[in-house]
Amino acid sequence: MHLPLFPLNTVLFPGCLLDLQIFEARYLDMVSRCMKQGQGFGVVCILEGNEVGAAAAEFSAIGCEALVRDFQQQPNGLLGIRVQGARRFRVERAQLLADQLTMADITWLDEAPEQPLLEEHADLNALLHALAVHPMVEALGMEGQANGQADLANQLAYLLPLEPEQKIQLLGIDQPLERLALLQEVLDQLQAELNA
């Protein structure tokens, strides 16, 4: 499967929303093509390099498909789009095209069926509710409601200010229970550091 890639300084997760301003010709063309064909593009996190200008030198091998949900012309004249994370994928091979767009051969990653939240997830669920009232989260229109384990793991991993490497690791974990356990571990570690 071929997928155009949009390397960014962020990690997108399934079900989560991201607002982007598009101004480079290669990405304007890519978004236009994707919208005409009703297809998505791949968001991968930049490990080395910049979002703007020359193609990113290095990016994560795990990414998330982005589907355009809304678009509008911004007051500054740029195209604003809101995308929603869909399927996770692994980049098998990437190639830089003549127009500086990166095209990748990808493999879709399997998603475990959504499972209901357990009692042990009460604290994490409460944290998601608390994050939902943050102005930046409110602006995205993410309601802070989790429909199950995968949804809770994805939203928390996306919204919490974790290191990019931690987010990439979380995105690469197939089992939502494992993702939630790792999130709990990271939060416990942060709490211990704050109390030290």
Mind listing the pLDDT tens digit for each residue in 56-84?
Answer: 568 999 999 999 999 988 888 889 999 99
Q: Which three-class secondary structure state does DSSP give residue 84? A: strand
CA distance 70 to 82: 5
Query: How are beta strands 79-96 and 58-73 bridged, if at all?
Result: antiparallel
What pLDDT is recorded for position 74? 84
Contacts of 120 (CB under 8 A, 6+ apart): none
Segment 13-63, tens digit of pLDDT: 999 999 999 988 889 999 999 999 999 999 999 998 665 555 556 899 999
Of 144, 160, 149, 95, residue with least CA distance to 121: 149
CA distances from 189 to 62, 146, 158, 167, 182 (A): 25, 24, 18, 15, 11
Segment 142-191, tens digit of pLDDT: 888 899 999 999 999 999 999 999 999 999 999 999 999 999 999 998 88
- Amino acid making up residue 128: L
Helix (H) or strand (E) holding 30: helix 25-37
Average pLDDT of the chain is: 91
The DSSP secondary-structure symbol of 121 reads: G
Q: Which three-class secondary structure state does DSSP give residue 21? A: strand
